[in-house]
Homo-oligomer: A and B are copies of this chain.
């Protein structure tokens, strides 16, 4: 199924790629690889703040991870024009703001990973690391960076 159709079925509208507001850019392409900058989870257009293991549940974290995956897909679409040109989601780094003792970063990360597979099918199956960090910029609960191979 074409990716745009799949997105419609999932009722997902990709955001426009946010224009750079700092000394860095949302993505860089080198050869067939696109390196996408770390994106933070947002809710209602604002940073989705919180910390896993301190007032935020794993399920909420999964929703945040899914939300940031949508942001990243929007940037990826801005990078290549048409998501059909994405040959493979290569690698995700999922950074989960965590209190000591919270050890379900992999479950939080699945919120993003599963969406990539739903949208991209086999091309969405990626290598991944998930880790618990102290903070992300703006106090967001999840941050996500990605490497993709494009045509």
Write the residues of chain A forming the contact surface with B, with a CB cutoff of 8 angstroms: 20, 22-28, 30-33, 35-38, 51, 88-93, 95, 98-106, 109-110, 113-114, 116-117, 125-139, 143, 145, 147, 149
Contact = CB atoms under 8 A, between A and B. Distances in A.
B126 A38 contact: no
Given A28-B90, A33-B30, A149-B30, A136 B127 contact: no
Given A114-B23, A135-B103, A93 B127 contact: no
Question: How many chain copies?
Answer: 3
A31 B30 CA distance: 11
A30 B90 contact: yes
B135 A24 contact: no
Contacts of A127: 24-28, 35-37, 145
B135 A132 contact: yes
